[in-house]
Amino acid sequence: MGQVLNFRPQCINYGCHRAVAHSGARVRPVCGHCHKAGYGAHAYSFGVMPFRTGRCTNDNSQLGFPCPTNYKRAPWAVGVTEIDHIDGNHMNNVLSNVMELCPMCHKKKGMMSGDYVGFRYARG
Ligand SMILES: [Zn+2]
Ligand SMILES: [Zn+2]
């Protein structure tokens, strides 16, 4: 018997209460509807505010190191962000456990907290 994913966390977007989308073992931080809206496939549902702002939230060095992304110098970097689960648990999909980070901060934070050790981040 395979393991059945019988618990699905909620979409992190404000005002959205759908269960998150997942493909196999990977769980997205948002639901399928918001995921598509994020790519411009359709509009967000009425009353839903996207969690992502397109900018790294480590601009105040809250992770203990400065963000290397300078949005004034690199405006193309706006929108290139990733959602980090602070405790490394993708099932703990609540606002207090998620941060929007640029890829550089995400990687550094992951190395510092040990997220990259072991199988959890086996590519992709
Ligand atoms: Zn959603
Ligand atoms: Zn950053």
pLDDT in tens, 45-60: 999 999 999 999 999 9
Domain limit, last residue, from 16, 32, 51 = 51
* pLDDT confidence of residue 72: 95
User: Which ligand has the minimum distance to the alpha carbon of residue 8?
Assistant: 1
Statement to judge: residues 75 and 118 lie in one domain: yes
58 conformational bin, left if phi > 0, alpha if psi -120 to 50, beta if neither: alpha
Statement to judge: residues 86 and 104 lie in one domain: yes
Domain that holds residue 2: 1-51
Q: What is the mean pLDDT of the chain?
A: 87
Statement to judge: residues 81 and 122 lie in one domain: yes
Cβ distance 48 to 18 under 8 Å? no
Q: How far is the CA of 28 from the centre of ligand 1 (A)?
A: 10
Statement to judge: residues 47 and 60 lie in one domain: no
Statement to judge: residues 42 and 58 lie in one domain: no
Query: Over the stretch 101-123, which tens digit does the pLDDT of each residue have?
Result: 999 999 999 888 775 554 444 44
* pLDDT confidence of residue 27: 84
Q: How far is the CA of 30 from the centre of ligand 1 (A)?
A: 5
Q: What is the pTM of this model?
A: 0.80
Which long-range contacts does 37-42 make (Cβ < 8 Å, 24+ apart)?
A: none
Cβ distance 86 to 97 under 8 Å? yes
